[in-house]
Chains A and B, each alone.
Chain A
Amino acid sequence: DVKVTQSSRYLVKRTGEKVFLECVQDMDHENMFWYRQDPGLGLRLIYFSYDVKMKEKGDIPEGYSVSREKKERFSLILESASTNQTSMYLCASRLDRTSNQPQHFGDGTRLSIL
Chain B
Amino acid sequence: QKEVEQNSGPLSVPEGAIASLNCTYSDRVSQSFFWYRQYSGKSPELIMSIYSNGDKEDGRFTAQLNKASQYVSLLIRDSQPSDSATYLCAVNVLDQTGANNLFFGTGTRLTVIP
Contact = CB atoms under 8 A, between A and B. Distances in A.
B46 A102 contact: yes
A99 interface: yes
Contacts of B92: 100
Interface residues of A, number: 20
Interface stretch (B16-24, B60-68, B104-112): B104-112
B90 A102 contact: yes
Interface string B12-37: 00000000000000000001101010
B43 interface: yes
B18 to A, nearest CB: 24
Interface stretch (A12-20, A62-70, A74-82, A104-112): A104-112
Given A42-B106, A107-B42, A102 B99 contact: no
Contacts of A41: 106
A42 B42 contact: no
B100 A43 contact: no
Contacts of A103: 90, 102
Interface centre among B36, B45, B99, B105 (most CB of A within 10 A): B99
Nearest to A107: B43
10 contacts: A42-B88, A42-B104, A90-B44, A97-B98, A99-B100, A100-B32, A100-B92, A102-B49, A105-B43, A105-B45
